[in-house]
Amino acid sequence: MELNTITCMDALSFLKDIPDKCVDLVVTDPPYNVSQHKNMKFNGRVIVKNFGDWDFGFDPKPILAELRRVLKPTGQIYVFCGTEQIPIYMQEFIEKWFFRNLLVWCKTNPAPRLSKTNYLFANEYIVYAIKEKGKPSLSTFNFSSQSTMHNTFLTGSLQGKERLRGKDGMAVHPTQKPLVILKKLIEVSSKPGDLVLDPFMGVGSTAIAAMELGRKFIGSEINQKYIDWANQRIIQIT
């Protein structure tokens, strides 16, 4: 198991190669299963609805079983998910883990509602749990203050300098997450030198957040193009 590297491999195969009980923290953003096979056009613009084959038919249960195996007994997990996935993750974490909280990312700049027949999807969710039921005090939790430990994050979705874009100006990855959220999760639930795992690395934001906070990381990503972008980011801070 080589530390501080992203392996080009599907998540489940990658996890099966990791030894038992060696990971301190999981922070990951699996597929949401929200893609549609066809994109759409609106006012002459193409609205991307198909993020890729990876966002169809994802079953989180085998992944969660492997993540539970590789986590230490006091290890913790944060999983980003979509609205329709909340019941699936909640059932798994309540029955097999130690469910702790449902965090909410409230976007200040959600995508517009083109049909104007429903509310805008301004929220994404992060399910938080500990591997084993017991005393939460045994797990690392760096509580800062009552005013800063709300279970909500109020930020925009990435549109500025942090958003990776190709030469055509298009976003490199459709679901890149803000470093400010990832760093908060890692800072709260781990210590410097701890090992952070993300089997859905994308363009490496979890890796960058871990490195900037003095943590080690391991992870996988099935798309080599995304790994290439992630490695460019890693080189810039090493």
Q: How many domains does one find in the chain?
A: 1
**CA–CA separation, 17 and 134 (whole Å):** 28
Provide the CA 37 distance to its chain's centre, in angstroms. 23
pLDDT in the model for residue 213 = 98
| DSSP percent split of the chain into helix, strand, coil, nearest 5 | 30, 25, 45
pLDDT in the model for residue 41 = 59
Residues in contact with 105: Cβ distance below 8 Å, sequence separation at least 6, in sequence order: 80, 123, 124, 125, 126, 152, 153, 155, 181
Residue for token digits 């890692």? 186
Q: Which amino acid is present at 1? A: M
**Cβ atoms 156, 107 nearer than 8 A:** yes
State the DSSP code for 31.
Answer: -
Domain of residue 161, residue span: 5-236
What CATH number is given to the structural domain containing 29? 3.40.50.150
Q: What is the pTM of this model?
A: 0.91
Q: Is 62 helix (H, G, I), strand (E, B) or coil?
A: helix
214 phi/psi in degrees, rounded to 5: 75, 25
pLDDT by position in tens, the chain (length 238): 799 999 999 999 999 999 999 999 999 999 986 655 566 655 655 555 556 666 667 899 999 999 999 999 999 999 999 899 999 999 999 999 999 999 999 999 888 887 789 999 899 999 999 999 888 999 999 999 999 999 999 998 877 788 899 888 888 888 899 999 999 999 999 999 999 999 999 999 999 999 999 999 999 999 999 999 999 999 998 8
**CA–CA separation, 27 and 55 (whole Å):** 18
Task: State the Rg of the chain over Cα.
Answer: 18
